Amino acid sequence: MTVAMVITLRAEMGNASGKMHSVGGSKTSWGPSNVNLTEWSSHETFYVGDWLYFGYDKYQYNVLEVNKTSYEKCIDKDFIKNITGGAGRDVFNLTQTKTYYFLSSGGYCFQGLKVAVNVLRPLPPAPAPTSTSTTTTFSSSLLLLLLLLFIII
């Protein structure tokens, strides 16, 4: 899925579509760099409905979703899904509560080009404030004040 398609989807769905996480913290962090992707993901909170953005040099790297064993051993064969779209700007929707594993093939995984993302169930929306409780409190206070004024007069 291209970035343009995600922007269109997000516009149609509003903020309910989740947060966009740039993997590694910037628009071009998917590549051997000074960014520790394990450290980065440990400081992020991911929920079902969020998106991952992978920005990289399309001539050198790719993005593969793999299982835990392949992630740990940097095995790029028999991957679950090839996220690579060819432009070097790919997105992935986190649709399940689970840990997702991603790596780049060509030996780059051994240089740290891999990330595990633990996805949590979305938080329930906060209850909307009710105007009746405010109105009831205000009405009760006004009634008490009027009663006191009546007693004093």
| pLDDT given for residue 141 in this prediction | 59
Say if CB 21 and CB 50 are below 8 A apart.
yes
**HSE-up of residue 141 (Cα within 13 Å, Cβ side):** 6
| pLDDT given for residue 33 in this prediction | 76
pTM of the predicted model over 0.75: no
Phi-psi region of 52 (alpha: psi -120 to 50; beta: other; left: phi over 0): beta
Q: Which amino acid is at 124?
A: P
- Please choose, from the candidates 126, 122, 123, 106, the residue with its C-alpha nearest in 3D space to the C-alpha of residue 114: 106
pLDDT one-digit tens code per residue, 62-76? 999 999 999 999 999
- Those residues of the chain that have pLDDT short of 50 are 1-15, 147-150
φ, ψ of residue 37 in degrees (nearest 5)? -65, -30
Measure the CA–CA gap between 74 and 131, rounded to whole angstroms. 56
**What burial class does residue 11 get, using C-beta atoms within 10 Å of its C-beta: 0-12 exposed, 13-18 middle, 19+ buried?**
exposed
